[in-house]
Structure 1
Amino acid sequence: MFSLREKSGNNTSAGITVSTDGIALALVEHKAQPPTLKSAKFYSCSESERPSLLAQLVKQYRLDNIPCNLVLGSEEYQMLQVEAPDVPKQELSAALRWHVKDLIDFHIDDAVIEHFALQAENASGKQPIHVIASRKSVIQNYVDLMHTTNCNLTTIDIAAMAVRNIIVNSDYANTHTSIGIINILDGITRIIVLLNKEIYIVRTSNIGLQSLASMSDDVDSQSALDSLALELQRTFDYYESYSRQTPIERLFILNGQDVANLDSMLQQRLGVDCHTMELQSFLTSEEGEFTDILTADCLLAIGGALRAKH
């Protein structure tokens, strides 16, 4: 996404996420397939404590010598899909900036814009483009933090791409064209569709873990699940008609461990093979069991660390 330095040949890379509660750091070694997760941990701190904590982590894990990918939280950027404008390649960035100026919720002069094109054409025969917009202040604050602590920041990435980086390490992704993913957060769920290992659709549902975790067996309390299943079905139907690709046959569920039988309940409603994501299916670990690292913050940091391979 937002590249800052040339990629290095280091076999180990780091993923970092920063939230109001602290910093998550993951280290991944890329020598073998699947990659090896060397470490993943969330460190609690206040905003004022961030510089000193990160400086400690830089020294402890030699983050000044390995490529570090910072992952923006979902609330720190906007992602839009538009059709490629009919302009020369050298004018594309300016044209996209003009195109999205009224679609983002802050002034275009305050925006940092990046984009990437999808390889497939849509139903109208045009090439879709994803445009990512973030506030300049957000990006600059992170750049300053990394520079102050001597962290070797190479890329600033987005949450959706970090999720994608995890899934594409699966054997399933190597043999299937169309894959669905949901990343369940406290108040929302991110719905992602991959086409040929690349992000094709990103949508947001207002149904999150708080709604789903309170479900019981009575009909009324399962309305949240029914609504989420309906949003998923609409997304999948749109994908099939818009992309002219094969139907989605598998849905990976991230952060759904606190909802009992979520995979089977969604599978019953969608008729799609639903799997709660288990990191051991995608990575090996130097630390043994994948137990305490399965939080939203650590997952995104792991996805950030996996970016160097792709």
Structure 2
Amino acid sequence: MRLFSKTKKTVGWMSITIQEDGIYMAHVTLMPAAQPQVGLIAFYPADKTQTTATLEKIAKELHVDRYECTNLLNSGEYQLLSVDAPNVPQDELKTAIRWRLKDMLDFHIDDATIDVLDIPGDKNAPERKGAMYAVAAHDQFIKQHQSLFEQVGIPLSVIDIPEMAQRNISALLEPEDRGLALLFFDNTGGLLTITFAGELYLSRRLDVTLAQLLQTDIDQKNTCYDRVTLELQRSFDHFERQFRFITVSKLMLAPLGDGGSGLQEYLAANLYMPVETFNLDAVLDISKVPALQQPQQQQLYFMALGAALRHEVTTL
């Protein structure tokens, strides 16, 4: 979802994701009739006070001006809202969506940057009114991201959101004519997405962190497993009611790092659908970055890789 854009430059995307422990980067090139190729990953440790200096270092050492760069908003910097698709001409769509969002946001609509994403309906029931996702970010957050990268001389082309980064990976895993649920955890919490035909149909945030899932206390860990299971059951029930024309084939767990097998076993025993874990080398060519063979590294770079898998779509 393009919140703003500049002139395109080179093939492939360099994603630059700023997290609590530092800055994660990945460059991926989409290959015709082959797996997307990961050409580079990099991590620069930095706390919030070091972000600008670290980005300056990255700009010099990696010559990122040669790349098309993308950056992800943090989860607290935007709202992702499902709305009914308004019955208006295409050129009036964003204005109509903006009007619908004015009472749904926790800030004034005049201060919002809005983008929209279509949620395709059942092709066998075209008369049914469709839905859309609207992304609303406060202008100040967009300007902060723009200003930060401009200050250090990094050409930022796109600001995206984690849901779309995860969608990019999920689309590579989908069985033909079936939907796919994908669940990812980091130290900010969990993110569940359901995709079908490469489109994002559902997104849910889970208030359980990776650290909680990997803790050693068995009772507390099982409590977290129960919370995750309940949220998944509710989400799947809601999805089935809303999108009866989509069959979700399985739940895939994104790499959790060392010690993550317990969650897969627990969910498989308590959900009605198959639950599998996957390795990124099933969908990506990681031959140039052997470090990504390690599950822990796959978890750390998951969002950066998803963002770098961006492909141009028709924006609304």
Shorter-chain TM-score above 0.5: yes
Is the aligned partner of 1:88 residue 2:89? yes
Which residue number in structure 2 is paired with residue 126 of structure 1? 129
Label 1:186 to 1:129 Cα distance change in 2 as closer, same or farther (>3 A): same
Per the alignment, residue 262 of structure 1 pairs with: 263
Corresponding residue of 1:138? 141
Deviates more, 1:63-72 or 1:270-279: 270-279
1:237 and 1:196 mapped to 2: Cα distance?
20
CA deviations on 1:141-189 (whole Å, 9 max, x unpaired) are 111122222222111110011111122223xx25243110112133532
Alignment correspondent of 2:26: 26
1:102, distance to aligned residue in structure 2 (A): 1.9
**2:308 corresponds to which of 293, 305, 309:** 305
| 2:70 matches 1:69 | yes
**Unaligned stretches of 5+ residues in structure 1:** none
Q: Cα offset for 1:251?
A: 1.0
Provide the residue aligned with 2:12 in structure 1. 12
Question: How has the CA–CA distance of structure 1 residues 216 and 56 changed in structure 2, closer, same or farther, with 3 Å as cutoff?
Answer: closer
What is the alpha-carbon distance in structure 2 between the residues aligned to residue 248 and residue 43 of structure 1?
38
Q: Separation in 1 of the partners of 2:131 and 2:122?
A: 7
User: 2-side partners of 1:225 and 1:215: how far apart?
Assistant: 13
- The 3-state SS of whatever aligns with 1:240 is helix
Unaligned runs of 5+ in 2: none
Match of 1:253 in 2: 253
Instruction: Give distance in 2, aligned partners of 1:67 and 1:44.
Output: 22
Does the 8 Å CA contact 1:30/1:309 hold for their aligned counterparts? no
> Which structure exhibits the higher relative contact order, with contacts defined as CA atoms closer than 8 Å and separated by 6 or more residues?
1
Aligned to 1:147: 150
Letter in 1 for 2:53: S
Q: Show CA shifts across 1:119-155 (max 9, x none).
A: 2259992111100011111111111122222222111
8 Å Cα contact 1:194/1:201 also seen in 2: yes
Cα 1:259–1:287 change in 2 (3 A) is closer
* Cα distance change, pair 226–62 in 1 and its aligned pair in 2 (3 A): same
What is the identity percentage for the equivalent residue pairs of Structure 1 and Structure 2? 28
Deviation for aligned residue 1:246: 3.2
- Establish whether residue 160 from structure 1 lines up as the match of residue 163 from structure 2: yes
Secondary structure at 1:50's aligned position in 2?
helix
- Give the TM-score, by structure 1 length: 0.89
Residue 287 of structure 1: how far off its partner (Å) = 2.0
Cα 1:221–1:161, aligned 2, differ >3 Å: closer, same or farther?
Answer: closer
SS of residue in 1 equivalent to 2:64: coil
Q: Take 1:208 and 1:30, find their aligned partners in 2: how far apart are those partners?
A: 31
Is 1:104 the counterpart of 2:108? The answer is no
Tell me the equivalent position of 1:288.
290
- The alpha carbon displacement at 1:46 in A equals 3.3
Which residue identity lines up with residue 142 of structure 2 in the other structure?
Answer: I
Aligned residues: 305
Q: Cα distance, 1:300 vs. partner?
A: 1.3
The amino acid of 1:237's aligned partner reads D
1:88 and 1:245, CA in 2 relative to 1: closer, same or farther beyond 3 A? same
Deviation, structure 1 residue 255: 4.5
| Matches of 1:12 and 1:87, distance apart in 2 | 35
Equivalent residue letter for 2:117? F
Q: In angstroms, what is the RMSD of aligned CA positions?
A: 2.4
When structure 1 is superposed on structure 2, of 157-166 and 113-122 the one drifting more is 113-122
TM-score by length of 2: 0.87
Q: Which moves more between the two structures, 42-51 or 112-121?
A: 42-51
Post-superposition CA distance 1:86-143 (Å, at most 9, x none): 2232222122112112222222222111111122259992111100011111111111
Q: What amino acid maps onto 1:260 in structure 2?
A: S
Amino acid of the structure 2 residue aligned with 1:139: I
